[in-house]
A and B are shown apart, each in its own frame.
Chain A
Amino acid sequence: GEDVEQSLFLSVREGDSSVINCTYTDSSSTYLYWYKQEPGAGLQLLTYIFSNMDMKQDQRLTVLLNKKDKHLSLRIADTQTGDSAIYFCATGANNLFFGTGTRLTVIP
């Protein structure tokens, strides 16, 4: 099956940029996703990128995809305390494979 790896924790100061990284093994996925999960809640889709793209920007979010290295990253500009959550990278088509999530803590 697909393996999706993420670092477990990231702490940043409010106003700084956050970069969350993800590596995956399945190169056949057409889309790659970033989801956000706040405590006790379900998953909120933040953004996704088509596999033939290198970069996608959506307001404060920038997704970079390096298909050769099977590396995906999510950059959050001007990180706010409300961005504190767990961020999941996911790949797949009909069924999604998720990483274990990166817990982002924003320090005021």
Chain B
Amino acid sequence: DAGVTQSPTHLIKTRGQQVTLRCSPKSGHDTVSWYQQALGQGPQFIFQYYEEEERQRGNFPDRFSGHQFPNYSSELNVNALLLGDSALYLCASSLEQGHTEAFFGQGTRLTVV
């Protein structure tokens, strides 16, 4: 079992550009959540996808959007990048039915210059 995999591992973008980050959930998991972890901080919830729909959203602007595919994988898109978007972006997967803990990927380190 490969666990949660994210790509790319590192990314450098210029202010104003757009970025897409990708996540494949742990085998058997159907729910994907995205978190932003700024340097020295704990992760902050961006949004969660289940059945290809955004189910819950944290306090992030509309520049942050996402998608979930029929195979449960997910993308996070950020438009009009700001310097403050530089962070580690973490994907977590879980199973909707019953309680399953969230398993995290290794993250994508995004640097906006």
Contacts and interface: CB of A to CB of B under 8 A. Distances in A.
A43 B48 contact: no
Interface in B16-61: 33, 35, 40-45, 48, 55-56, 58-59
Nearest to B31: A94
B105 A100 contact: no
Interface residues of B, number: 25
Given A33-B101, A95-B48, A43 B43 contact: yes
The secondary-structure label for the interface of chain A is: strand
Contact of A42 (B33, B44, B105): B105
A95 B56 contact: yes
B42 A99 contact: yes
Given A95-B48, A95-B58, A100 B102 contact: no
Interface string B48-85: 10000001101100000000000000000000000000
Nearest to B47: A95
Nearest to A99: B42
A95 B33 contact: yes
B45 A31 contact: no
Nearest to B44: A98
B101 A48 contact: yes
Contacts of B103: 45
Interface of A: 1, 4, 30-31, 33, 35, 41-45, 48, 88, 90, 92, 94-101
Interface of B: 4, 6, 33, 35, 40-45, 48, 55-56, 58-59, 90, 92, 99, 101-107
Given A95-B33, A101-B41, 12 more contacts: A1-B59, A30-B99, A42-B4, A42-B106, A43-B43, A43-B92, A43-B104, A94-B48, A94-B56, A95-B56, A98-B43, A100-B40
What 8 A-B pairs come out closest when comparing CB atoms? Answer: A98-B42, A43-B104, A95-B45, A42-B106, A42-B104, A42-B107, A98-B43, A100-B42
